[in-house]
Amino acid sequence: MFALALLLLCSAAHADLYRWVDPESGSVKLSNSPPPWYERGAGPQVERVPYSAPAARAPDNPSATPRARWLDMLRTVALEPTRERLEALQALRQELDRLDPAGATARRAEQGEVVRKLERR
């Protein structure tokens, strides 16, 4: 019961924001309520920033799609092959094969091509 009451009291605020420069101190003031002179139209100019719902959050790393991760790992292994990187590539391919079985054949061929190039060195 307490949790329900707490949820009702803690709902998100949907308020406009008001911004103005204090004439006495010269500092910028921000408030969710307008200054007393706002309605009268007297005093310093007040900027009203209307409320808008937050936009959908963009991914932290847009290139972090499974395909982009795979291609990045292939490039890394091709440029500087180490045993650890080859093992990481294999683990990533197995993970991606589990998540996207349709692309498994293409990934296996791409990995084989990189490994063949490394063997020729």
| pLDDT tens figures, 54-89 | 777 766 665 567 788 888 888 888 888 888 888 888
pLDDT of residue 63: 56
Q: Is 48 helix (H, G, I), strand (E, B) or coil?
A: strand
74 in the same domain as 42: no
Asked if the structure places residue 25 within a domain, the reply is yes
Q: Take residue 68 and report the two structure tokens written for it.
A: 């982009």
pLDDT of residue 4: 54
Asked if the structure places residue 21 within a domain, the reply is yes
Across the beta sheet with 17-21, what order do the strands follow? 28-31, 17-21, 46-49
What is the distance of C-alpha 97 from the center of its chain?
25
One digit per residue, the tens of pLDDT, for the chain of length 121 reads 655 555 555 555 567 888 888 888 888 888 888 888 888 877 788 888 888 877 777 666 655 677 888 888 888 888 888 888 888 888 888 988 888 888 889 888 888 888 887 777 6
Q: H or E stretch including 95? A: helix 83-99
Residues 6+ apart with CB under 8 A from 4: none
pLDDT of residue 16: 83
pLDDT of residue 8: 54
pLDDT of residue 54: 78
104 in the same domain as 74: yes
The domain containing residue 22 runs over which residues? Answer: 14-49
73 in the same domain as 108: yes
Q: Is the pTM of this model over 0.75?
A: no
73 in the same domain as 39: no
pLDDT of residue 33: 86
* Contact in structure between 85 and 93 (CB atoms under 8 Å): no
81 in the same domain as 40: no
pLDDT of residue 73: 86
71 in the same domain as 43: no
115 in the same domain as 71: yes
With tokens 């180490």, the residue in question is 82
Q: Take residue 115 and report the two structure tokens written for it.
A: 């490994």
**Burial of 77: CB neighbours in 10 Å, binned 0-12, 13-18, 19+:** buried
Asked if the structure places residue 2 within a domain, the reply is no
φ, ψ of residue 78 in degrees (nearest 5): -65, -35
Q: What's the domain count of the chain?
A: 2
Give me the residues paired with residue 20 across strands.
Answer: 29, 46
72 in the same domain as 45: no
